[in-house]
Amino acid sequence: MNTPATQVATPTLLQCLPGLLLALGIGGVALLLGHLAPLIGGPVIGIVLGILVGNLLSPGERFAPGVAFAGKKILQWSIIALGFGLSLGQVARTGLESLSVTLVTMTVAFLAAWLLGRWLGVHDKLKILIGVGTAICGGSAIAAITPIIQPDDHDTAFAISTIFLFNLVAVLLFPLLGHLMHMSDMGFGLWAGTAINDTSSVVAAGYSYSHAAGDYATIVKLTRATLIIPICLALAFVVAARAKRKLKSEGGENNFSLASIFPWFILWFLVASALRTAGVVPAAILPALHALAEFLIIVALTAIGLSANLRKMAASGARPILLGLGVWMAVSVSSLLVQLAIGQL
């Protein structure tokens, strides 16, 4: 069952039900296992379980509409729900001093992904997925741009798996290197917050170094996560411009509009964040909203795993992994160099 979400045309709720129940069931298991193994996390476990079930058990075509719906719509809902847990004003105030390092590492990540990906022969959408995932916030960033650039599901799964691999290495390696370099708590927190992708991995590495480093790393990471909004908007404009050029070159009517591919879920994410910032959302329900967002993103990534094609992933070879390694190393080193230049180590 490796049917891309974009090939399923407006299925009914009844048609979606089998696939939705499958994704919800596996997602629930992944959520529980993620709490038992927080270093790995529910999203990664969900996508791995989805890949295993989709490729080993091969669910029938009747599951495809619901799986496609979960991989697209529930993915967007999960991103909106994440907005309720993110106060943009607070993050902007507390993370302003880390912005210069974050912008440099983001620029390095995108340049490294483009140059190294071109050299390795990795196709554009996978380069974007790995570049954005490394530059911003791992699986969450990949999830956010997936509805915009619409990659194949196996590319999304491959990108998330590649990002996770280097997250795990960073959690184990960064604290050791930080102590060897005699980094300050603030310096290590800034390094972890800008060079490790997933939030849980940033928290794990930061607090294993020191409590102060963990606090600072978390703030830096949240600041970095907000930058997914302008990245998504920029990608939407690029996709729209390419579509217009394609229509013009093919002699078709130039009636394509940005609204047709505009990531409206990002707008609703901003609305949710604004409500959180303004205090409209009662503090008592914020933990429930956070738990809902976590579960929805696990279900969505589980669905993407169910749709992934291992044969196509294997055909990609080691090049995407080498791309992920190169981009991650470039980001890690550039973060240290910028801190050294500004005297924050």
**pLDDT score of 344 more than 70:** no
Whole-angstrom Cα Rg for the chain: 20
Tokens of 335: 């973060």
Percent of the chain with pLDDT over 70: 84
Tokens of 199: 């939030």
Instruction: Supply the pLDDT for residue 18.
Output: 92
pTM: 0.64
User: Around Cβ 285, how many Cβ atoms within 10 Å?
Assistant: 11
pLDDT digits (tens, 9 = 90+) for 38-80: 767 787 788 789 889 988 888 888 898 998 888 778 877 877 8
Residue ranges of E strands in the chain: none
pLDDT digits (tens, 9 = 90+) for 187-219: 899 999 888 887 667 877 888 888 888 878 877
pLDDT digits (tens, 9 = 90+) for 149-194: 888 877 887 888 788 778 778 877 898 899 999 999 988 999 998 8
User: What torsion do the CA atoms of 300, 304, 305, 308 make, to the nearest 10 degrees?
Assistant: 180
Widest pairwise Cα distance in the chain: 62
Across the range 230-235, mean pLDDT stands at: 82
Instruction: Supply the pLDDT for residue 5.
Output: 40
pLDDT digits (tens, 9 = 90+) for 78-118: 778 877 876 666 556 656 667 778 888 889 999 999 999 99
User: Where do the domains of the chain lie?
Assistant: 7-342
**pLDDT score of 7 more than 80:** no
What is the band of 2 on the pLDDT scale with cuts at 50, 70, 90? very low
**pLDDT score of 3 more than 50:** no
Percent of the chain with pLDDT over 90: 14
* One-letter amino acid of 294: E
Averaged confidence pLDDT in the chain: 80
User: Around Cβ 241, how many Cβ atoms within 10 Å?
Assistant: 12
pLDDT digits (tens, 9 = 90+) for 285-309: 888 888 888 888 889 878 878 877 7
